[in-house]
Structure 1
Amino acid sequence: MNTYERDALAMDAYSNAVTAAAELVGPAVVRIDIERDMGSRYGRYAPPPGAGIGSGFIFSSDGQILTNAHVVEKAKRIFVTLADGRKFPAGLVGIDAEVDVSVLRIGADHLPVAELGRQPLRVGQLVIAVGNPYGLNWTVTAGVVSALGRSLDVPGSKKMVNLIQTDTSINPGNSGGPLTDSAGRVVGITTAMLPMAQGLGFSIPLDTIKAVLARFAQKRQAPLTGVSLGVGGMRVPLDEHVRRTLRLAQQSGMEIVEIRPRSPAEQAELKRLDIIIAADGEAVTEPQDLQRLVRRHSTGDKTIITFLRGGRQRKVTVVL
């Protein structure tokens, strides 16, 4: 075999590895669009006016998505577009700005999932990034791990540590997307690039991601303190036909995306994807409305929650 044939085989192997990895993780990669409050410390990097585009990936088939904290920080509204073109409003499950990781959730089930890796990375290892740079949907780039354990000073933020440095092309809009190995398993979240240094990209390693997920899970499972319904949710528009049929004046409600175990909401048999439209007869159009109304009560009080399930209006009495 001559040198040309060996080079061709090596190139074919490289191409096949990148193609296979991209095909595995691609269906789980999402585009994230936001409407942002204009006071964000990351505002200088966000597309004007007050909007942003980033990436993320589904890691749980019940609609949970990993992305960067800076992608969704101070977002007024978050929208997620799947690889198949479906678009959903998203709720914020948890955010850790110190390590730039956040978790979102959308109202969908049985979704394609990106598998989290298990093996430690090595310098020189092939890695693939999938994301939406400059709003160009589902773009694939490849490179190698250049270094591990890097630190990076981010303007307006704390110093980021223990990062993966790669020569994989990372551009605005890639943030929050997966960095995978040649088997398509996620080994990091792309987080930053140096604008004046071509060929340098940084990603959050898997150990950091798993630690954040564990903290979020522990927080959700901790006993409730104070008066709370025990739900997390997001503002969603109400179906126009449902509004007319039920003669509702409001245009939005709060869709439940999280129900804490053993919470008042779980005991009252509220379910994920129920849309709360009122508490004690007062309209609920977003999570803040529900929090305000529930906090009027004391532990042991009862509150009447009005909600939509399957297009039908229901009521339930919840003991707080």
Structure 2
Amino acid sequence: MSTSERDALAMDAYSHAVTTAAELVGPAVVRIDIERDMAPRSGRYPSPPGRGLGSGFIFASDGQILTNAHVVEHARRISVTLADGRTFAAGLIGSDPAVDVAVLRIGADHLPVAELGRQVLRVGQLVLAVGNPYGLNWTVTAGVVSAIGRTLDVPGSPKMVNLIQTDTSINPGNSGGPLVDSAGRVVGMTTAMLPMAQGLGFSVPLDTIKAVLAHITQKRNAAPGGVSLGVGGMSVTLDATLRRTLKLTQQQGMEILEVRPQGPAERAELKRQDIIIAADGTPIAEPRDLQRIVRDRMHSEKIVITFLRGGKQRKVTAVL
């Protein structure tokens, strides 16, 4: 095989990786339009009062969307346009401006979702930034991870730490879009660019995003009267091979992202990244399922939690 033929094959492999990843995540990428009465406080993301625009991505099929906190800051009206062209009014579930993460929700269901990855990023790894800049369908820029654990300290803006640095081009309209690996799995969320640094881009890592989701979910899922399992989490799709091995009929479970110190879950030795699949024998596919069951329990009642850890199915009894 000649050098030119090998180069062509390498280019084809690269192109295939980029196009495949983009096609996998593209349907879950959304455009976010904002109406606001005042400009965002942050000097890193200059935007005048009036209208704003950003990107986001659906992470739960019931209409939950991730984006940057600065995209929706001071918004009095938020609308979300899906990849299929439908537009919905959106509500703000919660946000953490310190790490530039916000969660929205729209009144739609059975939506395509972006898969959240689990792998550890490595410097030099291929990544794609996908967004909906300026309302132009979804667009893709490819590059590599340049560094991990970067700090961004811009005068007039909150200091941000533990960021992913990439050489993928990011423009203001891409803010809030997913950063994905070659398999189309989300590994971060684009948050900032340095205009004078030739396209240097920064993204919030997935671990930080999950921590924000856990905090927001835990506050929303606290049952009346203080009855709570003491966990925050999100719905995840169960591995097909694991489902066959364990003979599970359900396709989703609830991954634990946060465990409250000294709470029932911690006392029962549940841990982050455990996946709850049942409570008292009732299947759990998402946090709302667990919340509903916990609400039916009184103080000091026990609840049996079935969960997955390390490829094995386990059970514990938690005292609420």
Q: Alignment length, in residue pairs?
A: 234
Does the Cα contact within 8 Å between 2:38 and 2:48 map onto a contact in 1?
no
In the TM superposition, what is the alpha-carbon distance from 1:156 to its structure 2 partner?
2.9
Task: Compare CA radii of gyration and give the structure with the larger one.
Answer: 1
Cα separation, 1, equivalents of 2:112 and 2:35: 26
* Matches of 2:69 and 2:182, distance apart in 1: 26
Distance 2:208 2:180 in 1: 15
Within a 5 Å distance, the mapping from 1:282-301 to structure 2 comes to: none
**In the alignment, does 2:5 pair up with 1:5?**
yes
1:125 to 1:206, Cα distance in 2 relative to 1, 3 A: same
Segment of structure 1 superposing worse, 83-92 or 34-43 = 34-43
> Residues of 2 paired with 1:148 and 1:172: CA distance?
22
Residue 17 of structure 2 aligns to which amino acid in structure 1?
A
Q: C-alpha separation between the residues in 1 aligned to 2:125 and 2:43?
A: 34
The equivalent of 1:40 in structure 2 is 40
Which residue number corresponds to residue 118 of structure 2? Answer: 118
1:2 deviates by 1.2
TM-score, structure 1 as length reference? 0.69
Aligned position for 2:136: 136
For 1:13, what is the secondary structure of its paired residue? Answer: helix
C-alpha distance in 1 between matches for 2:152 and 2:44: 18
Provide the rounded CA distance (Å) in 2 between the counterparts of 1:38 and 1:56. 21
Please state how far the C-alpha of 1:155 moved relative to its aligned partner.
Answer: 4.1
State the partner residue of 2:70. Answer: 70
Equivalent residues of 1:133, 1:170 under 8 A apart: no
Q: Match of 2:33, SS?
A: strand
Q: Deviations over 1:18-46 (max 9, x none)?
A: 00000000000000000012142148845
Provide the residue aligned with 1:16 in structure 2. Answer: 16
* Structure-2 residue corresponding to 1:308: none
Q: Which residue of 1 is the match for residue 149 of structure 2?
A: 149
Tell me, yes or no, if the aligned pair for 2:35 and 2:52 is still in contact at 8 Å. Answer: yes
Question: Which consecutive unaligned segments of at least 5 residues does structure 2 have?
Answer: 226-287, 297-320
1:65-124, CA deviations, whole angstroms, 9 ceiling, x for partnerless residues? Answer: 000000001100000000000000000001000000000000000000000001000000
188-197 or 35-44, which deviates more: 35-44
SS for the counterpart of 2:54 is: strand
CA offset at residue 178 of structure 1?
A: 0.3
Structure 1, unaligned runs of 5 or more: 226-257, 268-320
| CA spacing shift, 1:48–1:97, aligned 2, 3 Å | closer
* Contact kept in structure 1, 2:131 and 2:175, CA below 8 Å: yes
**Segments of 4+ in structure 1 off by > 6 A?**
none
Within 5 A, what are the aligned runs for 1:171-186?
171-186=171-186
Instruction: Give the whole-Å Cα distance in 2 for the aligned partners of 1:259 and 1:156.
Output: 43
- Counting aligned pairs with the same residue, the percent is 81
Q: Secondary structure at the match of 2:172?
A: coil
Whether the 8 Å CA contact 2:191–2:203 is kept in 1: the answer is: yes
Q: Is the 8 A contact 2:43 2:155 kept in 1?
A: no
**TM-score normalised to the size of structure 2?**
0.69
Q: Following the alignment from structure 1 to structure 2, what is the Cα–Cα distance between the partners of residues 173 and 210?
A: 23
2:84 — aligned with what? Answer: 84
How many Å separate the matches in 2 of 1:30 and 1:200?
23
1:54 is matched with: 54
| Residue matched to 1:160 | 160
Preserved contact between residue 220 and residue 260 of structure 1 (Cα < 8 Å): no
Say yes or no: does 1:169 pair with 2:169: yes
Determine if contact 2:40/2:47 at 8 Å carries over to the other structure.
no
Instruction: Tell me the distance in 2 between the aligned counterparts of 1:132 and 1:39.
Output: 21
